[in-house]
Amino acid sequence: MGEENPYRFDVQPLLIVISGPAGAGKDALIQRTKERGQPFHFVVTATDRPQRPGEVHGRDYYFVTREEFAAMLASDELLEHAVVYGQNKGIPKQQVREALASGQNSIMRIDVQGAATIHRLVPDAVLIFLTASSEEELERRLISRGGDSEEQIRRRIVMAREEMKRLPEFDYVVVNHDCALDQAVDDVLAIIRAEQRRVEPRVVRI
């Protein structure tokens, strides 16, 4: 024949970014997706903060020294990084590259600010904004998860309002309704499935 096979539809691996305000349920959504046995690479953040009891290196975080972190930063080996309470966090590019090279979809959670950075660096990443269904629900969740003072919760809600304004920078919005986490997971899985059926596929380069 000599011609290209017109029936060859390659499926490209994706980089899926789960973002949204604190209290929207990003961690719970990623955790549930994991539990449902999806063959994704779940991106692990590198940090130079000390390992806490119960945390597993390579699962919860990549625990590195301050020097190692600085070296990754210096060699441009971090997709995104942030300083949180004087401790560094960042996404090593290499693991995402490796996952994509093996044909695996990579999924990661990041705050709204960080998602904007990913969008700039990897325009073909799929950006999903996860949100509670109302401000009241967001507040209830922030209170029930504990750990924040009343003042901190107030600040998080004001910040969530600001973050909602950045919704137009995202591709998809998924509402995490109370008691319906699996529906939000189904939404994310549908988005991934649909994206991999696009006639013009996203081609992620890192």
Using CB under 8 A, list all residues that contact a copy of itself: 6-7, 9, 129, 131-135, 161, 164-165, 167-168, 170-175, 186-187, 189-191, 193-195, 197-200
Annotated catalytic residue, options 49, 97, 156, 166: 156
145 is catalytic: yes
Nearest distance in Å: CB 157, a copy of itself: 12
97 is catalytic: no
Nearest distance in Å: CB 55, a copy of itself: 33
Instruction: Find all residues with CB under 8 Å of 176, minimum gap 6, and list them.
Output: 24, 25, 28, 29, 130, 131, 132, 133, 184
DSSP run (H or E) holding 108: strand 106-109
Indicate the residue among 82 and 173 with the shorter CB distance to a copy of itself: 173
Instruction: Find all residues with CB under 8 Å of 153, minimum gap 6, and list them.
Output: 139, 142, 143
202 is catalytic: no
Annotated catalytic residue, options 32, 140, 145, 166: 145
Indicate the residue among 59 and 165 with the shorter CB distance to a copy of itself: 165
Q: What are the strands of the beta sheet with 78-84, ordered from one edge? A: 62-63, 46-47, 87-92, 78-84
Place of tokens 């189904």: 186
Spatial distance between the Cα atoms of 113 and 107, rounded to a whole number of angstroms: 17
Annotated catalytic residue, options 52, 59, 193, 197: 52
Catalytic residues: 52, 145, 156
